[in-house]
Amino acid sequence: MPTLEEVKDYLGIDYDDEKSERNIKCYIKVAKKYLDSAIDNFDDLRRDERVKQLALFIIEDLYDRKATSVKESSSLMKLKNSL
């Protein structure tokens, strides 16, 4: 899973803000829980760069929508299924 700093870099956030960081930490947890339940062998793939990229896509969507639930798009489904 990506770290807080990796997510901030990915989202282009170059400042420190407690509220944003709390939200991002929440989004990281949501992405992890989603991937853990959506991918059968998630524990085996945890260090796979594709998992990190998929988590970043999910986190970006959650951040943009200010949401706490994953909205499955066709692109997300294809990436998830490829794992």
CB contact burial 16-45 (16+ within 10 A = b; e otherwise): eeeeeeebbeebbebbbebbeebbeebeee
pLDDT by residue for the chain (83 residues), tens digit each?
Answer: 899 999 999 999 999 999 999 999 999 999 999 998 888 887 788 788 888 999 999 999 999 888 778 876 666 666 666 66
Q: What is the pLDDT of residue 11?
A: 96
Q: What is the rounded distance in angstroms from the CA atom of residue 64 to the CA atom of residue 16?
A: 18
Q: What is the pLDDT of residue 78?
A: 65
Q: What is the pLDDT of residue 81?
A: 66
